[in-house]
Amino acid sequence: MKFLDEYRDSATAAQLARSIRKTVRRPWTLMEVCGGQTHTIVKSGLLDLLPSEISLVHGPGCPVCVTPLELIDRAIAIAALPQTIFCSFGDMLRVPGSSKSLLDVKAAGADVRIVYSPLDGLKLARANPSREVVFFAVGFETTAPANAMAVWQAEREGIRNFSVLVAHVLVPPAMEAILSSPNCRIQGFLAAGHVCTVMGWEEYEPISRRWHVPIVVTGFEPLDLLEGVQMAVTQLESGRAEVENQYRRAVKREGNRPAQERIAEVFEVAPRKWRGIGEIPSSGLQLRERYRAFDAIERFRVGVESVEEPSECIAGLVLQGLKKPFECPAFGTRCTPETPLGAPMVSSEGACAAYYLYGRHKHERSESELPRTASRG
């Protein structure tokens, strides 16, 4: 597949790895922001190619992992209503709320459907005029244009039986929150490439300046990540701290203007609670007044109890890159992909699931015998 396979070439990967090894003089800790990047790293065993001086920490770039508990409980309550058809991306189905997940509710008879695109949700609404179709609008800025278009189009067509449960989160505020934590060890970022196809990278420049950290807009294939690491390390070794673009084939500095305009038309910035981190001001999106009629929270006034949760899950510390999954007392024992205690174990991009699936055996055997999965340092 063009523009995909070339970026998985092993000879080129080896060459980039050599180049990184030549550049590195000191240990560095980098964070890759996006869950999709984490996925590639663990799936391709990328850490095996990096020198041990480089430590890659997995960031909170997994909208599945950071969707607040209350929203999941609300989604479940809405899905359980007999008149609703609840549509969602596949990722969200397994995430546990306070007592169950959407998959559980589906198993109990609720009409929960996996869709590929929010426009599929709209199609369902047109085809089922007597049902209420609700779409779980989760995601970072990458997904916001799609969700915005669905709402915008619904309004244009006068579709009354469609609404969205908004759970959008924004990346730059999350990065700032991580950087402002006193325990922050992150020295450079691989920014989420697809978020930047939409938003460009202008908004990262003040962050890079304020915190003096290199931020490299990076793609998602193994070669992209290797090149991104190389660019970040080159900056760090020379004391530079700028925003650079590794993902040049897809990202422009100003991003995608039509997409940004549609987002601004439909959504406005709002405070948002991040599961495992807490509330971060101006870090989420909500529907503007004009489109509030499409807000599922307003349309379905479901009571959601706030629950006192036991805090055995250290998702917060893991999501901020402060702890590794295997440092959690429940990791691999009470908390596994079958019985997840928190979202990072459910989502395949979650740091905990990634470590569980690919690296838990590390602690039963000596490191040299196993695929290297945990970064040292």
Partner 1 sequence: MNEVNLSCPVPRPADDYILLAHGGGGKLTNQLIERIFLPAFACAPLEARHDGARLNVNGQRLAFTTDSYVVRPLVFPGGTIGDLAVNGTVNDLAMCGARPLYLSAGFILEEGLAMETLRTVVESMRAAAAKAGVQLVTGDTKVVDKGKGDGIFINTAGIGVIEAGTEISPAAVRAGDSVIVSGDLGAHGVAILSVREGLEFEAPVESDTAPLWEPVNALFEAGIAVHCLRDLTRGGLSSALNEIASAARVGMEISERSVPVREAVRGACEILGLDPLYVANEGRFVAFVAEQDAGRAIEVLRRFAICKDAARIGAVTATPAGMVTLESRIGGRRVLDMLSGEQLPRIC
Partner 2 sequence: MCLAIPGKVVSVIEEAGLSLRRGKVDFGGVQKEICLAYTPEAAVGDYVLVHVGFALSVVDPDEAQKIFDTLTEMQRLEELEGAADVTESGP
Q: Which of residues 46-65 bind partner 2 (CB under 8 A)?
A: 51, 61-64
Nearer to partner 1, 175 or 251 (CB): 175
Return the bridge partners of 166, or none.
Answer: 137
DSSP annotation of 253: T
List CB contacts of 11: < 8 A, sequence separation 6 or more: none
- Residue from 68, 96, 97, 139 touching partner 2 (CB under 8 A): that is 139
Among 27, 271, 371, 377, indicate the residue that binds partner 1 (CB under 8 A): 371
CB of 167 to partner 2, least distance (A): 12
Which residue among 58, 106, 262, 275 contacts partner 2 (CB under 8 A)? Answer: 262
Instruction: Identify the bridge partners of residue 86 per DSSP, sorted by sequence position.
Output: 112, 134
Smallest distance from partner 1 to CB 300, Å: 21
Q: Does 233 bind partner 2 (CB under 8 A)?
A: no
Paired sense of beta strands 267-274 and 243-245, if any: unpaired
Q: Find the binder of partner 1 among 60, 214, 255, 316 (CB under 8 A).
A: 316
Partnered with residue 139 across adjacent β-strands are: 168
348 near partner 2, rule: CB under 8 A: no
Q: Which is nearer to partner 2, 19 or 98 (CB)?
A: 19
Cβ closest to partner 1, residue 136 vs residue 235? 136
d(CA 175, CA 172): 5
**Residue with token string 């202008």:** 202
User: Which of positions 47-66 make contact with partner 1 (CB under 8 A)?
Assistant: 47-49, 62-64
Who contacts 21 (Cβ-Cβ below 8 Å, separation ≥6)? 51
| 267 DSSP β-pair partners | 287
Contact segment (CB under 8 A) with partner 2 among 78-86, 115-123, 329-337, 354-362 equals 115-123
Residues 62-81 that bind partner 2 (CB under 8 A): 62-64
Coil, helix or strand at residue 192: strand
Query: Which option in partner 1, partner 2, none does residue 235 bind, with CB closer than 5 to 8 A by kind?
Result: none
Stretch near partner 1 under the rule CB under 8 A, chosen from 150-158, 202-210, 289-297, 315-323: 315-323
H or E element that contains 132 = strand 132-139
Q: What is the pairing mode between strands 132-139 and 84-88?
A: parallel
3-class secondary structure, 179: helix
* 342 part of the interface to partner 1, by CB under 8 A: yes
